[in-house]
Amino acid sequence: MATHLDDIVAAKRAAWSGPAAADAAARGRRTPAVPGRFAAALGGAEISVIAEIKPKSPSKGQLLDPELAVPTARSYIAGGASAISVLADTPYFGGSPELVRTVAEHPDITVPVMFKDFLVDVRQVTLAHDSGADGILIIARAVDDALLTDLVRTAHGLGLDALVETFTQDEVDRALTAGARIVGINNRDLQTFSVDLDNSARLRRDIPRGVLTVSESGLSGRPDIERIAAHGFDAALIGESLLSSPDPAAQLRSYTGVQILEVAS
């Protein structure tokens, strides 16, 4: 059964199938990338929150006016966010590389920024770099092993951190083989859209020490944050529960200060 992800990845491959797409990265970044900056923001003793700027989604519709991206990012930082994720996809999520740049280059945004898109071409990593991002997200199931490795290596070569998103044990193994230093585990099954934190816990146990781990999707309250902290996750990627809150800063503060429990691996 085809999923939203299948449709999006097919469209993205079509968009990046020709040489003209490379011109999108033309402008370059304002300040040099600092290798490891994004990873360092996730490495504390407490759960770090990567707070997301997502203008819309295929399932929920409009979530945020892009004009409010910087004020929203400011409120996230005020609430204790360790990093900001900004959607760079336009057709499905209403973001853009320019929106990433607007957030990343704003003087008030003092935390690292992640370029979140559906990466199918190494030129997109260059685009993320030139948009001012400190990190990228790569979805393991969207690419084969060779491209996954190329994306990770290209990111590291440009001074960006790569968060590799997984959902199965095979995808975790592929991410580690590709050299991922940050592994995300998506709590939501992209076939059924059900959320299963227990699946994330099982996968987390097999990730070695020294690799940062991020719990993604379906996290909506402090009990969920405490639960993933008990499983040894380093960070949580949270978007819709913050975007739907009347006070994102207060909502985010309710997620902070949760100590991570060490998990043997």
Beta bridge partners of 164: 138, 183
The identity of residue 46, as a single letter, is E
Residues 175 and 121: their CA atoms lie apart, in Å, by: 17
* Active-site residue identified among 54, 56, 131, 171: 54
* Active-site residue identified among 48, 85, 215, 216: 216
Beta bridge partners of 183: 164, 213
Q: Is 67 a catalytic residue?
A: no
Q: Is 12 a catalytic residue?
A: no
Q: Is 187 a catalytic residue?
A: no
Residues 139 and 6: their CA atoms lie apart, in Å, by: 12
Q: Is 171 a catalytic residue?
A: no
Sequence-ordered alpha helix ranges (H) in the chain: 4-15, 37-41, 69-78, 97-104, 122-130, 145-157, 169-177, 197-204, 222-230, 240-243, 248-253
* Active-site residue identified among 48, 75, 131, 186: 186
The answer to whether 190 touches 4, Cβ cutoff 8 Å, is yes
Q: Which token pair is 239?
A: 């978007």
* Active-site residue identified among 56, 82, 116, 199: 116
* Active-site residue identified among 12, 48, 52, 75: 52
Q: Is 216 a catalytic residue?
A: yes
* Active-site residue identified among 12, 75, 96, 165: 165
SS (H, E, C) 10-40: HHHHHHCCCHHHHHHHCCCCCCCCCCCHHHH
The pairing of strands 56-57 and 48-53 is: unpaired
In total, the chain counts a number of residues equal to 265
Could you list the active site residues? 52, 54, 116, 165, 186, 216-217
